Amino acid sequence: MVIVLALTVAQACDPPWAGPTLPDGSGPLNLTLLSVQGPIGIGPNIMASTSLASLRAKVISTADRTQPQLCQAYLNDPDPCWTQQVDRQGRLYIAVITNPECTNPTKEVAATSGYTVYFIHWAGNAQRTCSAAMALPHWRLYSASRGDLPSSGTLTVRLQLQGTERGGAESQVELS
C-alpha cells in the first residue's frame, strides 16, 4: 500500500529539472517583461511588431469584447492597455497570452533560431485540487533587442505549449 501511494504521489509531482525544452538548434533569447496586466483576451496567442502602437492595436482588435473591463487597471500595473509605454528604437515587441493554470507550476523561456523566435510556456502537473475560480487571461508585453535578431526579412514568432498543455500559436512580423 505504501509503495502504491508513493508511486501515485511521485507521478503527480514534477521533478525539479522539469521544464521547457528549447527546439533543436536554437539558443536562448533575453526578453524584457514590460507588463503582466495587459488587455483581457482569449488564449493562447502570440503577436509581435517593431512598433508598440501597432502591436497594441492588433491585441485590442482580438481582445474578448464580451469583457466589460477590457483594460482594467490594477494596483501593480496602472497601464493595462500599454498606453503609457514608449516605443524604443531597436526593439521587437511581443505580446503573449496563455490560459491561466489553476495549480500547475509554470515556467517560460524564449529562444531564437534563424528567422524564428520561440516563446515556450511549460505547465507541469497540478499540485493540488483547484477550488478557486479561474482568473481571466491577460496579454503580457515583452520586448527583445533587435540586435539579437536578423536585421531584415520575415520573422516568425511562435508560442509553444509544453508539459501538460499542448499546441500553440504563431504570427509573423516584417523586420526592416
How far, in Å, CA of 29 to CA of 113, rounded? 9
How far, in Å, CA of 86 to CA of 130, rounded? 38
Reply yes or no on whether the pLDDT at 171 is more than 60. yes
pLDDT of 55 reads 94
Q: Is the sign of the CA dihedral 111, 145, 157, 95 positive or negative?
A: positive
Residue 96 C-alpha cell reads as 503573449
Backbone phi and psi for residue 111, each to the nearest 5 degrees, phi listed first? -150, 165
Pairwise pLDDT comparison (23 vs 78), residue with the higher score: 23
Reply yes or no on whether the pLDDT at 131 is more than 60. yes
pLDDT digits (tens, 9 = 90+) for 34-81: 988 888 888 899 999 999 999 988 998 886 566 556 776 666 666 778
Contact 45, 168 (CB under 8 A): no
- State mean pLDDT over 95-124: 89
CA distances from 96 to 49, 85, 91, 128 (A): 12, 16, 16, 26
Contact 136, 67 (CB under 8 A): yes
How far, in Å, CA of 140 to CA of 118, rounded? 15
Would strands 153-163 and 140-145 be described as parallel, antiparallel, or unpaired?
Answer: unpaired
Contact 82, 35 (CB under 8 A): yes
pLDDT of 133 reads 60
Q: What percent of the chain has pLDDT over 70?
A: 82
Q: Which residue shows C-alpha cell 503573449?
A: 96
* Closest alpha carbon to 59 in 166, 149, 142: 142
| pLDDT band for position 19 (cuts 50, 70, 90) | confident
